Amino acid sequence: MKAQLAIFASGNGSNAQAIIDACKQGIINADVAIIITDNPNAFIIKRAVKENIECKIFKPKVFTDKLSYEKEILKLLTALNIEWIVLAGYMRLIGTVLLTAYPKKILNIHPSLLPKYKGLNAIKQAIDNNDNELGVTIHYVDEGVDTGEIIEQEKITIEDLNLPIEEIEAMVHSVEHKLYVTTLQKLIN
């Protein structure tokens, strides 16, 4: 039986794409059953259409509070028998409803060697700090911002911090795509 995954994403969705590709190729023994986004303009929506994967937009503002927002998402996840929630650039904190329903089953990826540089623009934070030790972390999600038990980390040493930030970001993203796939493979297969 293939595990059923839900991917949560707010933006480009390049990590989501790497996971979708790995599922399609049988590298990860799972199906991406649904993509959930909080951003109606996210590029991930176009990817979902192209991949023929159901995509639901949940705008938090439409709900009275986080509880009702997450309860609505949970209904859908339950109906689809989702076992794992994979955050891939989902820029929102997960609350008690989903944390309680999915203990140790919600994963996040972050572009730094956590606990360094939590939050937004982690790569820029490292560069601004003149720190050439970048990296990628995959961790279980808890109620904090990029906190939670670390599962895998990979260090990326940047020789020249004066490179255009886009080049540095591309290096980090390519490590992210590989590390998310191998980690999911270990956890799920």
Question: For binding to ligand GAR (CB under 6 A), which residues are involved?
Answer: 9, 11-16, 88-89, 109-111, 122, 146, 176
Instruction: Locate 79 and state its tokens.
Output: 């109906």
Q: Residue 30 or 87: which CB sits closer to ligand GAR?
A: 87
CA 70 to chain centre: 17
Minimum distance, C-beta of residue 160 to ligand GAR, in the bound complex (Å): 20
Q: Residue 89 or 148: which CB sits closer to ligand GAR?
A: 89
| Catalytic one of 110, 139, 173, 177 | 110
Q: Residue 79 or 164: which CB sits closer to ligand GAR?
A: 164
Confirm whether 110 is a catalytic residue: yes
Alpha helices in the chain (DSSP H): 14-24, 44-51, 66-79, 96-101, 122-128, 165-188
Q: Residue 88 or 99: which CB sits closer to ligand GAR?
A: 88
Question: In the bound complex, which residue of the shown chain has the CB atom lying closest to ligand GAR?
Answer: 89
Q: Contact 84/5 with Cβ under 8 angstroms?
A: yes
Minimum distance, C-beta of residue 169 to ligand GAR, in the bound complex (Å): 8
Minimum distance, C-beta of residue 42 to ligand GAR, in the bound complex (Å): 8
DSSP-assigned states of every residue in 74-128: HHHHHHTT--EEEESS--S---HHHHHHSTT-EEEEESSSTTSS-SS-HHHHHHH
Minimum distance, C-beta of residue 17 to ligand GAR, in the bound complex (Å): 8
**Cα 14 to Cα 157: distance, rounded to the nearest angstrom:** 22
Instruction: List the catalytic residues.
Output: 110
